[in-house]
Amino acid sequence: MTFSRRFLLDAGIRASIALPVWMQVGLARAAGRLPRTAPISQGAEAELRSRRLVVIDPGHGGRDPGCIGAGSLYEKDIALATAWDLRHALERGGYDVMMTRSSDVFIPLPARVDFAENHHANMMVSIHANSVAPNTTVRGASVFTFSNDPSDPLAAEIARDENSVERISNRSFQGVSPQVARILFSLMKHSTKVESLSLQRNFVDSLSRNVDMLPNPARHATFAVLQSSAIPSVLVETAFLSNPQDEAALRTNEFRLRLAASMKSAVDAWFLARRHAIANL
């Protein structure tokens, strides 16, 4: 769905951007164009309640193997296998699911974000595996959100590795003044950041009940694939390929199914919170 920047600007502005309905309502109310007590149209409310599109982004692929474990397990392969497990779990739960890649192909980082935005996804979940070789003791899952200021040195190192194949280009609105673009980006990025942090909490809570976690597992760094200003996004580092125990676990269907079930529970919790928020709009 498309919302017009004219709800913030003069009628002469013609540029537009695709946003989820819940964010359109929030931005319109923040701009003073829609009173807090104004009802949502039945059509918009139906879309808010019924549409549940999750884009899963299996990291790396094709000419980009990602990390390689001591036992020769490739990150690109384990990310894809885990993504398929998550897709099946979500589809059984009634979600619409799309994947940025469904086979061993290389997808540029900007194209992954474009894919989610062009399909108006409710959220994007990027699947990866870690490595800090030659250190073989660090292990556990973690969940990242985007930030220009990494939460810690390890987060910064991981982001450098994940972004190393291709830097993502800076994107900008077309057809609006720089001042207007800053306002729009500020509003959208704030809303998306809040939703991404909520999604991250759900993922950390759910994963921590079923798999080993990295200390302080809720982290943030400059991951290129998380840079969408419109779609809440998290990046899940499932385990460390540099750790023999984690690598062995990732090879097993049982462990990957636990990961998938945990992530599905996190997605459930996030959408449930959205329904409650919609009811209070």
Model pTM score: 0.76
pLDDT tens track, the chain, 281 positions: 333 333 333 333 333 444 455 555 555 554 454 444 445 455 554 554 567 999 999 999 999 999 999 899 999 999 999 999 999 999 999 999 999 999 999 999 889 999 998 999 999 999 999 998 888 999 999 999 987 665 556 656 655 665 544 433 334 445 556 666 666 666 666 778 889 999 999 999 999 999 999 999 999 877 877 888 789 999 999 999 999 999 999 999 999 999 999 999 999 999 998 887 766 65
What is the predicted pLDDT for the residue at 230? 83
What is the predicted pLDDT for the residue at 156? 61
Residue 50 burial (CB count, 10 A): 8
- Map out the domains of the chain with their CATH numbers: 52-157+199-281 (3.40.630.40)
What is the predicted pLDDT for the residue at 110? 86
- How far apart, in whole angstroms, are the C-alpha atoms of residue 234 and residue 195? 10
Dihedral, CA of residue 88, residue 90, residue 96 and residue 101, to nearest 10: -50
What is the predicted pLDDT for the residue at 68? 93
What is the predicted pLDDT for the residue at 239? 96
Q: What are phi and psi of 211, to 5 degrees?
A: -140, 160
Residues with Cβ within 8 Å of 175's Cβ and at least 6 positions away in sequence, in order, are 13, 14, 15
Residue type, 236: V
What is the predicted pLDDT for the residue at 6? 37
